[in-house]
Each structure stands twice: as structure tokens, then as C-alpha cells.
């Protein structure tokens, strides 16, 4: 139960300044927050059902918010990154292509977030 209140204020205030040019202090601002997650998402889903000491709801909430913040951090980086990088690329074709590529990346990111969130709830 104690893990949540500590983590959540960051949860709230992070995404806001995180979208400014520097992507913020999130754990994985890059587009591939893969390796850190797979071990944490797997373990003991049964604990939610069994009601083991240490409040399973808070544990699940903690895992979910960490995953959600990774995704939001990636969104912040990908949202602010391309417009900033484009400053040094005067070719307009690159701007158009980049803006379309980012749209594709959102779909990929959404699928990734969906899979991870569902795996934690299994």
C-alpha cells in the first residue's frame, strides 16, 4: 500500500514538463523500453487472487503505473524529439516523412502497451 502514494505524485507531474524539449527523467525515454520489463511483468500473478500480505492491489497498481510511465516517457520523447531534430533538416520532404513515421510509431507503441498491460493482469 505504501508503494503507490510515493510513486504517484511523480506520475502526475511528470508528463507535463516531460514534453518540454528534454524528455524528462523517466526511466526509459527511448522508444524501446523492452528488456527491463519482461521480468517484472511475469511474476506471481496469482498473488492478486490470493490476497497475500502487502496489498495485491497496490502491487498491481505499482506495476501498472511503472509500465504506463515508461510508455508516456516514450511518447514525450517521440513527440518532442522529431520537431526539435527537424530544425537541422531543412528538406521539407524529411519533415513530411518524419511526421508520418511518428504516426506509425504511435500504433506500435499502443500495441506494445496493450500487450504489457494485459500480461500484468493475467
Partner 1 sequence: MNVAVLTGIAFVLVLGVMAGAARPRRVSGVLVAARGVPPWWNGAAISSEFTSAAACLGTAGLIATHGSPMLWYPTGAAAGFVVILALVVAPLRRSGTYTLPGFAEWRLRSARLRRLTTCCVLVVGLAFMVAQLHAAGVVVRLLTGLPPWLGWAAVAAAALAVAVGGGLGSVTSVQAAQFWLKLIVFLGVGIVCWWLAEEGAVAWFEGAYRGGGAGLAGAGDPSLPGVLAVLLACALGTMGLPHVIMRVHTDRDGHAARRSMVATQAMLAAFCVVPPLYGLMGHARLRGAAADEIVLLLPARLFPGATGEVLTGLLAAGAFAAFLATAAGVLAAVGGALSARASRAGARSFRAAVVAVLAAALGLTAVTAPGASVALVLLGLSLSAATFCPLLVLGIWWRRLTDAGAAAGIVLGGGSTAVLVIGEQTGVRMGALTSCPAPVAVPVAFATMVLVSLATPGRTPRDVGRMMARMHLPEHLAGPLTYRSSHRDDR
Q: What angle do CA 55, 5, 36 make, to 5 degrees?
A: 75
The minimum distance between CB 73 and partner 1, in angstroms, equals 10
Taking the complex as a whole, the smallest distance from the CB of residue 35 to partner 1 amounts, in Å, to 19
Q: Which of 49, 87, 62 is nearest to 5 (CA)?
A: 62
Residues that bind partner 1 (CB under 8 A): 1, 4-5, 7-9, 11-13, 15-17, 19-21, 48-49, 55, 57-58, 60-61, 64-65, 67-69, 71-72, 75-76, 78-80, 82-84, 86-87, 89-96, 99-100, 102-104, 106-107, 109-111, 113-114, 117-118, 121
Q: How far is the CB of 13 from partner 1 (least distance, A)?
A: 5
Report the interhelical angle of 56-85 vs 92-121 (nearest 10°): 170
Q: How many CA atoms lie within 13 A of 103 on its CB side?
A: 5
Residue with Cβ nearer partner 1 (44 or 57)? 57
Q: What share of the chain is helix, strand, coil (3-state, %, to 5)?
A: 70, 0, 30
Match 524539449 to its residue by C-alpha cell.
21
Locate 78 and state its grid cell. Answer: 517521440
* Cβ nearer to partner 1, comparing 39 with 104: 104
CB of 8 to partner 1, least distance (A): 3
Amino acid at each position: 500500500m505504501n508503494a503507490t502514494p510515493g510513486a504517484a505524485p511523480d506520475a502526475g507531474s511528470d508528463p507535463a514538463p516531460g514534453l518540454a524539449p528534454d524528455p524528462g527523467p523517466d526511466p526509459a525515454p527511448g522508444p524501446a523500453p523492452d528488456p527491463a520489463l519482461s521480468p517484472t511483468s511475469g511474476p506471481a500473478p496469482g498473488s492478486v487472487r490470493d490476497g497475500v500480505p502487502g496489498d495485491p492491489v497496490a502491487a498491481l497498481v505499482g506495476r501498472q503505473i511503472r509500465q504506463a510511465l515508461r510508455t508516456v516517457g516514450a511518447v514525450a520523447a517521440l513527440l518532442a524529439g522529431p520537431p526539435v531534430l527537424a530544425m537541422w533538416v531543412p528538406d521539407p520532404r524529411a519533415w513530411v516523412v518524419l511526421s508520418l513515421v511518428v504516426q506509425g510509431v504511435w500504433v506500435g507503441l499502443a500495441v506494445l502497451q496493450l500487450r504489457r498491460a494485459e500480461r500484468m493482469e493475467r
